[in-house]
């Protein structure tokens, strides 16, 4: 896996770029966001692309991750806190914010969704400057994943269960 460090670094550079966008959006919408520590209502078991899975694995410092399988929440939650918070995947970083996705039948026409706990007082007018374009981010993530897969020696599934991290520690 050390040979793949180049791809993991590229992935974490991408995450840094995403975090900067998120931070700017959090400032813009600070009055309407209630996301806070120990709010884990959006934490459900999820699958990720192999580049995310193995980058996260490469950065997991603690081998003391506990997996508690439950139908109600993500297996990586412990006492309502994410055990891999600093290196959580894209889907977890962005959830809650106004996210724009192209429609299947019209990719250029975007629909915006956000956590129902947010924007309860008022829904602002969404425009390019106050939303996160998830199509753009996902295109970049898929590009990074394809490069990683080309270099990877072996077969990998299209998506991997995040809770399976435990099997590699």
For residue 97, count CB atoms less than 10 angstroms from its CB and return exposed for 0-12, middle for 13-18, buried for 19 or more: buried
Interface region with ligand SF4, contact rule CB under 6 A, candidates 76-84, 102-110, 138-146, 149-157: 76-84
Among 67, 76, 90, 132, the residue binding ligand SF4 under the rule CB under 6 A is 76
The distance from CA 13 to its chain's CA centroid, rounded to whole angstroms, is 14
Map residues 28-67 to x or -, x wherever contact with ligand SF4 holds by CB under 6 A: ------------x--x--x---------------------
Interface region with ligand SF4, contact rule CB under 6 A, candidates 8-16, 74-82, 101-109, 139-147: 74-82
Number of Cβ within 10 Å of residue 162's Cβ equals 23
87 contributes a contact to ligand SF4 by CB under 6 A: no
Phi, psi of 163 (to 5 degrees): -65, -15
Among 67, 88, 141, 160, the residue binding ligand SF4 under the rule CB under 6 A is 88
Q: What is d(CA 90, CA 51) in angstroms, rounded to the nearest whole number? A: 11
79 Ramachandran zone, left/alpha/beta (phi>0; psi -120 to 50): left
List residues near ligand SF4 by CB under 6 A: 40, 43, 46, 74, 76-77, 82, 84, 88, 92, 162
């Amino acid at each position: 896996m050390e040979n793949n460090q180049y791809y993991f670094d590229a992935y974490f550079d991408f995450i840094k770029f995403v975090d900067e966008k998120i931070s700017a959006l959090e400032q813009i919408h600070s009055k309407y966001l209630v996301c806070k520590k120990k709010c884990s209502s959006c934490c459900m078991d999820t699958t990720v692309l192999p580049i995310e899975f193995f980058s996260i694995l490469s950065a997991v410092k603690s081998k003391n991750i506990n997996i508690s399988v439950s139908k109600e929440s993500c297996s990586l939650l412990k006492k309502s806190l994410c055990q891999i918070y600093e290196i959580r995947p894209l889907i977890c970083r962005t959830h809650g914010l106004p996210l724009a996705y192209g429609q299947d039948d019209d990719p250029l026409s975007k629909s915006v969704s956000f956590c129902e706990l947010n924007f309860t007082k008022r829904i602002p007018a969404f425009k390019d400057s106050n939303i996160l374009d998830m199509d753009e981010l996902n295109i970049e993530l898929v590009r990074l994943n394809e490069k990683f897969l080309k270099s990877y020696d072996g077969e990998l599934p299209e998506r991997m269960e995040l809770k399976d991290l435990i099997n590699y520690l």
